[in-house]
Structure 1
Amino acid sequence: MVLFTIGCKTSSPEPPKKPNIIFILADDLGYGDISSYNENSKIQTSNIDQLAAEGVIFTDAHTSSAVCTPTRYGILTGRYNWRSTLKKHVLNGYSKALIDQDRKTIAGFLKDNGYKTAGIGKWHLGWDWANVDAGNDSIDYAQKVKNSPVTRGFDYFYGFNGSLDMAPYVWIENEQPTMVPTKETVNTGKQVWWRKGPTSDDFVHEQVLPHITEKTVQFINENANKEEPFFVYMPLPAPHTPILPTEEFLGKSGLDNIYGDFVLMVDSVVGEVMKALDQQGIAENTILVFTSDNGCSNQADFDQLATKGHDPSYVFRGHKADIFEGGHRVPYVVRWPAKVKPGKSDQLVCTTDLFATAADVLDVTVKDNFAEDSYSFLSALGVESTLPKRESIVHHSINGSFAYRKGEYKAIFCPGSGGWSFPRPNDEAIKDLPPFQLYDLSKDIGEENNLQAEKPEILEQYRDELAKIVSDGRSTEGALQRNDGSEVWPQLSWMTSKQKE
């Protein structure tokens, strides 16, 4: 018997649904603060540990800078922060927009590819307040801001401009301040301080983290299970100063230090996001990433935490702001149940790499003039990819000092920390130190044995490779690009020197 059909068309299988993407960025959280990363951690981060158990935990992940603003620039642009006009330090709450209006962000890229995009939390990349050119005291908070996140690829934004300790303390929804500030607040207590400045009645420092969480969960609930996938960039203001755990978390860490309590509050935020995904039934096809913008700040009180046996920097030297590993090596966890099996990866990863990885997931080619320093880590998640893996990385400290890592060796092109730990850039001890440092991280993860005199050929090779990355305007394959602003690099004066010794 022959079976046949008349006038029927064979249905094609539906293309796989694009995954939702959520990127949670903690602020000043140390590698050693996460119990799944630090076997000796005295802070038990159960929700982040669950995320790690269900996803891939990266052990060699780094921020592009050891401080806030530059790292955020790198995440959103896929470009090293020092290629922007900001060559060192960070912006403040009154700063103008750092991301050029013509630069494609990951939000804009995903929006072009069918995503609804949202940014909720600490921006710290500047925007243009109304009348700010007349001075900070002349800002018209009744007017919309310009060059806001919604002009940089986000369909929706809710947040504030600087860190939680930087005035003005005003919420912005899309481009409009939610209230005009009518008072000034300041706090000077240890660990809970913030600078004096205009404050809106609806901006309560202690409730900022819960409010951001509420807004994010609301966005997830409203956009779950729609035909259009979503991307959420969730930059938290914690556990950065002011360190303000709510009453529920006070004393919960048992460390007699509110920093530990605030870390547990951050962990709870991750749990709330995971809970929302589960309740909406969309966890399976959501890529959820958790990391930090740099190492732990010394505001956590390292000395006091040491009396309890806890080290936020784990086995690494230094902390936030430093060129040493403690300044930029961070926890980095990625979960995608639909595609990724749980595991651990020692693949070298930079926070600039989210852009290329998202493009790889969508099988979309990244153009030459954006994401110049972004490599896909999709293959490290066990998902098929034909794109090259990251083999080297450029580190950057708060004062603009550079380091270059490739394989087991890390070359540091300054004599000290380049940041806040000893020896600081202006310490007297700097005068007696070699101008450069070279460490074999496979044998000396604590960066104690400087090999610059023993292996000058490696230092020379790394200087040349770094010089090329800087001058080419990119570290990935593609057409050469221009860096923004001045092409003067005080920390790389050897690039133009005829003597390399």
Structure 2
Amino acid sequence: MTEMSRRTFGGLVGAVTAVAGTATAAEAAPAEQPFRARTAAAKGDRPNLLVILGDDLGWADLSSYGAPHIRTPNLDRLARQGVRFTDAYSGSATCSPTRFSLYTGRYPGRTKGGLAEPIANRTQGLDPNHPTLASLLKKAGYSTALIGKWHCGWLPDYSPTRSGWDEFFGNHGGVLEYFSKLGQLGDYDLYEGDAEYKDLRYYTEVLTERAVEYVGRDHDRPWLLNLNFTTPHWPWLAEDDAETGAEIAARIRAAKTQAEVGRALNHYDGGSVEKYAQMVESLDAAVGEVLAALRRSGQEENTLVLFASDNGGERYSYNWPLSGQKFVLLEGGIRVPTIVRWPARVDGHQVSHAPNVSPDWTATLLELAGARPDPAYPLDGPSLAGYLLRGERPPEHDLFWRVRANRALRRGDWKYYQDATKTDHLYNLAADSREQADLATDRPELLAELKAAWERTAAGLLPYTD
């Protein structure tokens, strides 16, 4: 990447970062350096894996990614202690397909359940027979837990405990009202294992409490914790909005159809830029509590923390300078903040511009844990372990996306994009991260090459049936 593109994507590093709550500390912090692997590090034990997802968190919604009005000191600190990735992407532009891609390491279109964008009824889900990050790590000797949003299918057929996680505490659906826990099917959606668990406190608080308990245990083997917050996904509710939450819950209970439930949860008559910032800051505080518990437990040094979002932001998100948002394959719909910290093996104060996407992290985590993919279900992403630990160049591969309305493929700095009208576009992201300068007519040969590459990959996926 050019230095100009690095400035565009990375922002003015340090100028907006909240460090320990003081400007003086921010000014004193070492500047980010281009990523370089610490190749002399000893191998040591296999790491614990803490994978944290925000929900509908936009690319620039953290102060370390450029948000001028949202304070995220804990995530900024995590970035300073590790590597901040500027060109990281979700596996899709909505919730459940991205989770399919992260859990399976494969394109969502490899599986029937991954065709739902997103999952919205009990007939859809992740086949329990399909290998997952959790099931493969479990075979390799890891304890596995998922706390928070699953969104890969409802009981009785689908659940994390049917797909390799030893423990589950959270919601099955894609959205719920934060206090009553009424979800998108109109019923109660907070479970411990397969049993309903009653807790009417603010959901982010409940999930944080559970995660703090999990990481603080006296573990006798390495562990994987998928910690999936619903924050800052709508409805637009913070800790002090119980009254508004009760109004939404009443509308859900009165709904006659699932569409009416959806309208209540979408909260189109609520929210604001300020409320959204409050929700993101709540997420940041929650992550801070979990990381503090990890530190107290003595496991921080050899725990790899991966923080990301499941797709781009929505409505009130701060995505500048990107175009688009959740649901579309423009940069604002799929480029997400991504941070990796592993004190035992990776130096801090670093930034990487290497393009990567959700399935790459599945392959990476499996390799770092000494687990093998199932050869009957080949992964669609390369491992970044060689890049992170051995000084190898980042894997050069096409980043591919397919949704019903759009298609996209990134190769190096170039991106092929087809919009909902089936018009093809070509962008040079190094010069135009906002995707405004369409070079399709200037570079027809390159456009045709990238389009053909997209079609070759798409030919191997399941077709949409509706």
Structures share fold, TM-score greater than 0.5? yes
Residue type at the aligned position of 2:401: H
2:365 to 358, 361, 364: 358
2:426 is the counterpart of 1:435: no
| Deviation, structure 1 residue 97 | 4.8
Q: What SS class does the counterpart of residue 74 from structure 1 fall into?
A: helix
2:354 to 347, 364, 379: 347
1:296 to 313, 316, 341: 313
Q: What SS class does the counterpart of residue 263 from structure 1 fall into?
A: helix
Is the CA contact 1:120–1:212 (under 8 Å) kept in the aligned structure 2?
yes
Is the CA contact 1:58–1:332 (under 8 Å) kept in the aligned structure 2?
yes
Is the CA contact 2:312–2:336 (under 8 Å) kept in the aligned structure 1?
yes
- Matching residue of 1:151: 162
1:338 to 333, 344, 353: 344
Aligned partners of 2:278, 2:233: CA distance in 1, in Å?
12
- Matching residue of 2:8: none
- Matching residue of 2:296: 279
Aligned partners of 1:123, 1:365: CA distance in 2, in Å?
24
- Matching residue of 1:374: 381
Residue type at the aligned position of 2:171: F
Is the CA contact 1:62–1:351 (under 8 Å) kept in the aligned structure 2?
yes
> Deviation per CA, 1:350-379, whole angstroms, max 9, x where unpaired?
012222101221344433333521221223
Percent pairwise identity: 32
2:230 is the counterpart of 1:213: no
| Deviation, structure 1 residue 103 | 0.9
Task: Provide the TM-score with structure 2 as the length reference.
Answer: 0.78
| Deviation, structure 1 residue 170 | 2.5
- Matching residue of 1:173: 192
Which stretch shows the higher mean deviation, 460-469 or 111-120? 460-469
- Matching residue of 2:181: none
| Deviation, structure 1 residue 74 | 0.6
2:141 is the counterpart of 1:114: yes
| Deviation, structure 1 residue 228 | 0.7
Which stretch shows the higher mean deviation, 448-457 or 280-289? 448-457
Q: What SS class does the counterpart of residue 394 from structure 1 fall into?
A: strand
Q: What SS class does the counterpart of residue 57 from structure 1 fall into?
A: strand
Q: 1:229 to 1:386 in 2, by over 3 A?
A: same
| Deviation, structure 1 residue 15 | 8.3
Residue type at the aligned position of 1:449: A
2:432 is the counterpart of 1:461: no
1:260 to 277, 282, 295: 277
Alignment of structure 1 residues 449-488 onto 2, 5 Å:
449-471=437-459, 473=460, 483-484=461-462, 487=463
Report the count of equivalent residues.
Answer: 387
| Deviation, structure 1 residue 327 | 0.3
- Matching residue of 2:118: 90
| Deviation, structure 1 residue 256 | 6.4
| Deviation, structure 1 residue 387 | 9.5
> Deviation per CA, 1:331-363, whole angstroms, max 9, x where unpaired?
000000000011111111101222210122134
Q: 1:405 to 1:107 in 2, by over 3 A?
A: same
Q: 1:462 to 1:237 in 2, by over 3 A?
A: same
Aligned partners of 1:357, 1:70: CA distance in 2, in Å?
19
Aligned partners of 2:157, 2:373: CA distance in 1, in Å?
28
Is the CA contact 2:86–2:338 (under 8 Å) kept in the aligned structure 1?
yes
For structure 2, the 5+ residue unaligned runs are: 1-41, 177-183, 243-271
Aligned partners of 1:371, 1:107: CA distance in 2, in Å?
16
Aligned partners of 2:337, 2:207: CA distance in 1, in Å?
21
Alignment of structure 1 residues 134-149 onto 2, 5 Å:
145-149=156-160
Q: 1:256 to 1:368 in 2, by over 3 A?
A: closer
Q: What SS class does the counterpart of residue 128 from structure 2 fall into?
A: coil
Q: What SS class does the counterpart of residue 21 from structure 1 fall into?
A: strand
- Matching residue of 1:315: 321
| Deviation, structure 1 residue 239 | 0.1
2:172 is the counterpart of 1:161: yes
> Deviation per CA, 1:1-52, whole angstroms, max 9, x where unpaired?
xxxxxxxxxxxxx9832111010000011111111111x5211200000000
Is the CA contact 1:356–1:371 (under 8 Å) kept in the aligned structure 2?
no
Aligned partners of 1:95, 1:388: CA distance in 2, in Å?
40
Aligned partners of 2:457, 2:393: CA distance in 1, in Å?
19
Aligned partners of 2:284, 2:369: CA distance in 1, in Å?
30
Aligned partners of 1:396, 1:263: CA distance in 2, in Å?
28
| Deviation, structure 1 residue 489 | 8.6
Q: What SS class does the counterpart of residue 32 from structure 1 fall into?
A: coil
Between the two structures, name the one with larger relative contact order (CA 8 Å, sep ≥ 6): 2
> Deviation per CA, 1:201-240, whole angstroms, max 9, x where unpaired?
x253x61111011111111112x4x331110001111100
Q: 1:160 to 1:442 in 2, by over 3 A?
A: same
| Deviation, structure 1 residue 127 | 2.5
Aligned partners of 1:400, 1:67: CA distance in 2, in Å?
12
Q: 1:48 to 1:15 in 2, by over 3 A?
A: closer
| Deviation, structure 1 residue 441 | 0.9
Task: Provide the TM-score with structure 1 as the length reference.
Answer: 0.73
Which stretch shows the higher mean deviation, 262-271 or 360-369? 360-369
- Matching residue of 2:411: 406
Q: What SS class does the counterpart of residue 115 from structure 2 fall into?
A: coil
